[in-house]
Structure 1
Amino acid sequence: MMTRVLCILALAATLGGCGRAGIFKSDQPMFDGQRFRTVVKTERKNRQVFAVTVHQVSKSVEGARAAADYKAKQHCIQYFGTSEIDWTVAPDADGQSLRIVENTLTFRGSCHDEAA
């Protein structure tokens, strides 16, 4: 009986980490037919102001723009309950004003705080 319980717990622990480990990539959204690694960075004391970075822009610039917008909205919804963003450098900016550095795009913005 104890062996059965241990096996069930081991199986649950193994499967529980699958989604977080990125094993199931089909859960990740696609933009312009591609998946992008995006990162939102903020100061811990001020999550309202952020920078969102998209890697591997050469796959699709339009897809990278959409991925940045998506990730930024996720961030703002999580911390402020709104998807409204005041962009300093926006994903929908004129293509000539985009600055791609080492196959990476970075956009900056600020979430609206519904509590304010």
Structure 2
Amino acid sequence: MKAAWAAAAVLLIVAACGRDELDTVTYEGARFAGDLSFERGDRAAFVATGGPASVSLEGAKRAASYQVVQHCIAYLGSSDVAWANGPDVEDADLVIQDDRVVLSGRCIEP
């Protein structure tokens, strides 16, 4: 019984460690974390963030974009995106909140 609890604890720790690696992008030697949110009723629409923007705007945009591609493929089967505020926006026009780049748009259904 103790062995089963120990094995379960190890699996939880390993699973938790692995998740952080899936949410990070390395750009020019620095690590950038990304996150994405959406409403259950409309999974195609999203808001993604990446940062820290103070280290590199390009790295932060890549981290957020990575989250978008993963989300769109997982839920709609395509990586096509119609950006409302995307990574192609001029750096001066980017939305930045709490040292994180904010991207938004909709996944395009195939």
TM-score (norm 2): 0.83
Unaligned residue ranges in structure 1 (runs of 5+): 1-5
Tell me if 1:16 matches 2:11: yes
SS in 1 for 2:74: helix
Structure with max Cα Rg: 1
**Structure 2 vs 1, CA of residues 82 and 27 (structure 1 numbering), >3 Å: closer, same or farther?**
closer
**Percent of aligned pairs sharing the same letter:** 30
**Conserved in 1, the CA contact under 8 Å of 2:51 and 2:59?**
no
Query: Which whole-Å CA distance do the structure 2 matches of 1:26 and 1:73 have between them?
Result: 16
TM superposition shift of 1:96: 1.7
Unaligned residue ranges in structure 2 (runs of 5+): none
**Conserved in 1, the CA contact under 8 Å of 2:34 and 2:66?**
no
**Conserved in 2, the CA contact under 8 Å of 1:31 and 1:66?**
no
Structure 1 outlier segments of 4+, above 6 Å: none
Number of residues paired by the alignment?
Answer: 109
TM superposition shift of 1:25: 5.3
SS in 1 for 2:3: helix
2:77 maps to a residue whose letter is: G
**Structure 2 vs 1, CA of residues 66 and 77 (structure 1 numbering), >3 Å: closer, same or farther?**
same
Q: Which structure 2 residues correspond to residues 74-93 of structure 1 after superposition, within 5 A?
A: 74-93=70-89
Query: Which whole-Å CA distance do the structure 2 matches of 1:26 and 1:86 have between them?
Result: 27
TM superposition shift of 1:85: 0.7
